[in-house]
Every structure is written in structure tokens, then in C-alpha cells.
Amino acid sequence: MIAPLILILGWRHAFVVAGIAGLVFALFYLFAMKDTHTARDASGRSARIDGAATRALLKMLLMWKILITWFRMSIVNKGMDAWIPGYLLTEHHLDLKSVGMLTPLPFVAASISTALGGWILTRWFDDHEKWLMAACCAISGFFLYEMYTAQTVAGVIAYQSIAYFFKSFVFAGVFALPTKFLPQKLIGTGAGMVNFGGQMAGFVAPAVIGPLVSVTGNYDAVFLFLIAATVLALVTSLSIRLSPKTDGRLAAAEEA
């Protein structure tokens, strides 16, 4: 959507339009959405955050494994979000309008797999989430390599879409896992931890990819960096294991 706006309005006005759209959405969310699930204590006041339980959560190795898994997989999509348009422009010589039409396709694939992810996890991978996550990390890495070797624009976009499709199953897994072992009042904090990993990847990936392209003058090292991220995510995901000790530590912290 941004590329056509840049062509029609120029990049300065395109940013203004995008900013206004974001502001309108924020105002709509503020006034239209009602918080009907605010936790209350016995006197009816808003319940305070349980500091002891939150500290126990932050010390939990399992949560950090989930966070790191998502950080490493987010390196892939945050990195590609940042440089794929430039890659198509410089390496495949597409014009801006064509890039704007093609780059949303992987996100369509990701949206479909995100919608399916929860159902598939519940139906076939209940208590075996890490195996689905590990398999999807491996498949995403394979199709990143196929992207790297693709000779046509159609091949690049097709393989990127497949990589995004399987990457989003990892998204479903990392956000589903905390709901299985965290108490209700800590699920939001746990989800925030996992999301923090993804957001950190949004900072790290472009900061690494930019120098890689500048130093090497091509995108070979970038693809190797992204494939390495999927391999490391696979390794971390395989180390995830739910155990009774996890629930015990949190229960003790809640009682404290």
C-alpha cells in the first residue's frame, strides 16, 4: 500500500497519510474498545501487579527459551521486511510499483498460517508444540535457501511466501505455550516477554543487515545470516520442555 502512495503523493505526503491513519486507528481503539476484564481485589479496586510472581516469571529459563526462539525467528521476517523491497529493486530491477504489488503476498500467506496455527496446535500438537515449531524453523530455513538460489522474481516471492507461511506457525506456538503453564494473571506479562523478543529482532536485524550489504556489496551474507537465525531458533525450540517444576515455582511465588 505504501509504494502506490509514494508514487501518487510523494514519500513525504505518504508518511503523513500513514501517520494520520495510525492516529485514527488509535483513537478508534481508545474510544470503541471497552476493558471489561480488569482484575479486581476483594474491595473492588483494580488489583495490583504481583511483583513476586512477575520476578519469578522473569527468572524462568523456560520463558527465556521461548523468547529467544521467537527473537531468532523474528530476525527472518523483520530482516526481510526491511530489505526485500531494496533487494527486488537492485538485484531484480523491478520498479517501485511492481515491488509494492508483490511484497504483500508473503504477508497474506503468513496471515493464513496464523489463523490456522492455533487449530493445528490444538488438534495435532497438544503437548508437542516444540516439534511443530522446530519443524517449521527447519522448513523456513530451507525455503530461505531456495529464495537465495531463485533466478526469477516469481521464485523469490513464492519461496518467501512459503517461508513466511511456516514461520507464522512458530508465532502461534510461542504465544500458545505461556498460556499452558502460566497462571491467568501472568499470561499478559508472559506474552509481553515473548513479544519483546520479536520487537528486539526488529531493531537487531536491520542493524546487522545494513552493514553486511555495505561491506560485501551483495546479499549473499544476508541470506546466510537469516538461515543461521532459523537454525539457532530450531535448536532453542528443541530445548523447550514443560515440567511440573515450572508450575511449582510460580505457585510458590503467588503464595508468597
Q: Distance between alpha carbon 121 and the CA centroid of its chain, in Å?
A: 17
Looking at the fold, whether 58 and 130 belong to one and the same domain comes out as yes
Looking at the fold, whether 171 and 198 belong to one and the same domain comes out as yes
| Cα atoms in the 13 Å half-sphere on the side-chain side of 190 | 24
Looking at the fold, whether 23 and 63 belong to one and the same domain comes out as no
76-88 tens-digit pLDDT: 988 888 787 777 7
Looking at the fold, whether 134 and 179 belong to one and the same domain comes out as yes
248 lies in some domain: yes
Looking at the fold, whether 24 and 124 belong to one and the same domain comes out as no
77 lies in some domain: yes
Looking at the fold, whether 139 and 170 belong to one and the same domain comes out as yes
Would you tell me how many other CB atoms lie within 10 Å of the CB of residue 136? 27
143 lies in some domain: yes
Give the structural domain span for 6.
1-37
12 lies in some domain: yes
42 lies in some domain: no
7-26 tens-digit pLDDT: 566 656 777 777 888 898 88
Assigned C-alpha cell, 188: 499478559
- Rg of the chain over CA atoms, in angstroms? 21
How far apart, in whole angstroms, are the C-alpha atoms of residue 217 and residue 230? Answer: 23
Residue 256 makes CB contacts below 8 A (sequence gap 6+) with: 52
Looking at the fold, whether 22 and 64 belong to one and the same domain comes out as no
Identify the CA nearest to 140 among candidates 69, 224, 231: 231
**Looking at the predicted structure, is the pLDDT value of residue 98 above 90?**
no
136-140 average pLDDT score? 94
Looking at the fold, whether 95 and 157 belong to one and the same domain comes out as yes
DSSP H helices in 33-60: 51-58
Q: How many domains does the chain have?
A: 2
Would you tell me how many other CB atoms lie within 10 Å of the CB of residue 153? 16
Residues constituting the chain = 256
Give the CATH number, domain containing residue 199: 1.20.1250.20
Higher pLDDT, 160 or 185: 160
- Bridge partners (DSSP) of residue 40 are 46
